[in-house]
Amino acid sequence: MPTNLPADYFNAEERFRSATTPEDKIKYLEEMMSTIPKHKGTDHLRSDLRKKLSKLKAAATSKKTTKKQVSPYHINKEGAGQIVIIGCTNAGKSSLVQTQTNAEPEISQVPFTTWSPMPGMMYIDNVQVQLIDTPPFCEEYIDPEFLNLIRRVDLVLIMLDLHTDPVQQLKFIYQELQENRIAPQHLEGLIEVEDFLLYVPSLVLVNKYDNEEYEEHYQIFKELLDLDCPMLPVSTKTGYNIDTFKQTVFDMLGVIRVYSKAPGKEVDKTAPFVIEKGTVMGDFAGKVHKDFQENLKSARIWGTSADFPGQMVSRTHVLEDEDVVELQI
């Protein structure tokens, strides 16, 4: 190390050492280099630092490129279920997300308003689920990551516009899905399958049923469609059937809420454990805390699955929605 380096060099070096981001490291390294006097004695050092700088820059750029490549359809699941809404343009997908979640997608009567997916959290009573708005599905080109999202989620909502040929819209969506080897679960056994098909749980929402005056429209649609499938008429504008829609979603997710309370304490119903239907007490105890799973001595229960309030139950007891559980080790 040459001895004639200025104090500024060492100050910059100090900042370089404590920098935590690649951007800051690059900045302070460049600062260090600018303070080094140019002469024979510093040749070696300058060349080393140049190499270091180019390595850091390469690493920073490759990180940036990988970041850019992350698809907007890679959305981490949050809450008790991940639900995607698909449908043709103007069906009202964004309106559902805007009225039922904390997200604020753009809504417009002009077609093709939504360009990228947007998740929001929807409350179903005291449980939150994730609802994802998406661009129009009735298109020539569908992003492969959009299709992957449909394959991954817990529930697919197929939204139709009751005012503009809903039969045609639904057929188009089925066809589009099937071309990509996806089909709604309700078509299992009803369609001829040549290739492998991935069946996804789905609910058809017939939107813009603003009030009972649309009943006739809806009946005609059902007759023309002639298909028995999970389907609900709704209106994001007037709120018609939205409560039923939420309850249906909850039921289709196949989950229940169970509350854990400490002995002698009141139950806090704002924070349920959301678990799979059919879960037994022993497994539930493990979800509350691993100590409970290993050392559970007794479990008492209040609610629909109890024969009487406070019943002692075994590890194999099957829990039901809204049960209250008291665990002891």
Q: Does 93 bind ligand GTP (CB under 6 A)?
A: yes
Handedness of CA 93, 96, 99, 101 (dihedral sign): negative
Whichever of 86 and 183 has its CB closer to ligand GTP, that residue is: 86
Contacts of range 268-276, beta carbons closer than 8 Å, 24 or more positions apart:
269/126, 270/126, 272/126, 272/127, 274/80, 274/127, 275/319
Instruction: Give min distance, CB of 217 to Mg ion, in A.
Output: 22
Per CB under 5 A, the segment of 109-117, 170-178, 179-187, 264-272 that binds Mg ion is 109-117
Instruction: Give min distance, CB of 281 to Mg ion, in A.
Output: 44
Instruction: Give min distance, CB of 89 to ligand GTP, in A.
Output: 4
Helices in the chain by DSSP H: which ranges? 7-18, 22-35, 43-69, 93-100, 144-152, 166-179, 215-225, 242-253, 281-288, 290-295
CA 42/CA 39 separation, integer angstroms: 6
Whichever of 126 and 164 has its CB closer to ligand GTP, that residue is: 164
- Report whether 203 contacts 186 (CB < 8 A): no
Q: Does 207 bind ligand GTP (CB under 6 A)?
A: yes
Instruction: Give min distance, CB of 49 to ligand GTP, in A.
Output: 52
Whichever of 88 and 183 has its CB closer to Mg ion, that residue is: 88
Which of ligand GTP, Mg ion, none sits in contact with 120, Cβ below 5 to 8 A by type?
A: none
Whichever of 210 and 251 has its CB closer to ligand GTP, that residue is: 210
Please pick, from the candidates 114, 260, 279, 305, the single residue that binds ligand GTP as defined by CB under 6 A. Answer: 114
Q: Does 237 bind ligand GTP (CB under 6 A)?
A: yes
Whichever of 161 and 283 has its CB closer to ligand GTP, that residue is: 161
Instruction: Give min distance, CB of 75 to Mg ion, in A.
Output: 16
Whichever of 94 and 101 has its CB closer to ligand GTP, that residue is: 94
Q: Does 90 bind Mg ion (CB under 5 A)?
A: no
Whichever of 242 and 318 has its CB closer to ligand GTP, that residue is: 242
Q: Give the dihedral of Cα atoms 229, 230, 235, 239; nearest 10 deg.
A: 160
User: SS3 for 160-223, per residue?
Assistant: EECCCCHHHHHHHHHHHHHHCCEEEHHHCCCCCCCCCCEEECEEEEEECCCCHHHHHHHHHHHH
The number of residues that bind ligand GTP (CB under 6 A) is 22
Q: Does 94 bind Mg ion (CB under 5 A)?
A: yes
Name the residue among 83, 260, 74, 88 with its Cα closest to residue 171: 88
Q: Does 134 bind Mg ion (CB under 5 A)?
A: no
- Give me the phi and psi of 151, to 5 degrees please: -70, -30
Which of Mg ion, ligand GTP, none sits in contact with 89, Cβ below 5 to 8 A by type?
A: ligand GTP
CA 134/CA 72 separation, integer angstroms: 10
The residues that touch ligand GTP, with contacts defined as CB under 6 A, are: 87, 89-95, 107-109, 111-114, 136, 207-208, 210, 235-237
Which residues contribute to the site for Mg ion (CB under 5 A)?
A: 94, 113-114
